[in-house]
Amino acid sequence: MPIKVKVGGTYRTVPNADLFLKQSNSYTGNPVIGGYVKVNNVYKQFHQGSDPVTYYFVANASKAARGVSWKTSSNQGGADYPQISRYIESYPWFGLVTFANDTSGVSLSSRLATRPVVTSAYFNIQRWNDGGFGSGYGNLYIGRYMGSFTASTPHHGNCNFSSYAGKHWSGSGSSAGSVNYSDNFLYRGEFIGNPGSFPNGFAEGGIELGSARQILVDHLKTGPICLSHTTDNGSSSGGLGHYGSATYAQQANYWNFWPAGYTAFGLNIGPTLVVTLDYV
């Protein structure tokens, strides 16, 4: 509801009004999160303020699958290492990641119940230091997995990319041959986004979930996200459900990632989520 002031007998709307508390004749600078008036003994809200807060989440579980089979410990890195694309004749891999509590031990569901609007969301993860091309290129897409993380059998068709975020590494130009966030390759041991200064042991950057942030973060309350090299979950050529020989582009896009909760030198290199939530 917009705020109005009466000037010369005329009510005028105050654009983008921010309300602040005043105590002992001085302004506190504390925003009023909710403004209410009492009408016939009923409180009616006339103002909803903004108070964004950033929360840090470490993934609580991760795994990978291809076709209708879960990855096992005998595969590269282990069963809990998310993995995408394919390197040999097979179904392409896809990875699953779940998040539960933030670094204060409060659940994502609780945080969203208080501040339901996602104003920014960054997902980051580091590529494992083995497997595939040293200097890989291709795509990483983040969608929703509509099946159960704990089901006895996965299914590629449960990866839903009707709303997704992603990043493309073109492979053009020369590779630095090592971790370098200025070239067009994803090297082993490199984050999907420049980690910056690691506040609280978290990589600052990553893939910003953009226009899909609200849908993807809301989904994480009850289900995992799906990591894939393609947004096609079907069985046609190029889809997650297609069994066949790996193309050269799919081999270049064949990446393993560090699993949930994995750290190195006190830094989170497994999947992390940094979200900013607000009331409006």
Q: For 255-278, how does the pLDDT look when each residue is reduced to its tens digit (9 = 90+)? A: 999 999 999 999 999 999 999 999
What pLDDT, on a 0 to 100 scale, did the predictor assign at position 27?
Answer: 55
What pLDDT, on a 0 to 100 scale, did the predictor assign at position 276?
Answer: 98
Span 155-174, average pLDDT: 98
Span 168-172, average pLDDT: 98
What pLDDT, on a 0 to 100 scale, did the predictor assign at position 20?
Answer: 59
What pTM did the predictor assign? Answer: 0.87
What pLDDT, on a 0 to 100 scale, did the predictor assign at position 131?
Answer: 93
Per-residue pLDDT for 26 more than 80?
no
Distance in angstroms (rounded) separating the CA atoms of residues 51 and 60? 27
Per-residue pLDDT for 22 more than 90?
no
Span 73-102, average pLDDT: 96
Distance in angstroms (rounded) separating the CA atoms of residues 228 and 223? 16
Per-residue pLDDT for 4 more than 70?
no
Q: Sign of torsion, CA 180 186 189 194?
A: positive
Place of tokens 């009510």: 11
Other CB atoms within 10 Å distance of the CB of residue 222: 9
Q: Which residue has the higher pLDDT, 32 or 133?
A: 133
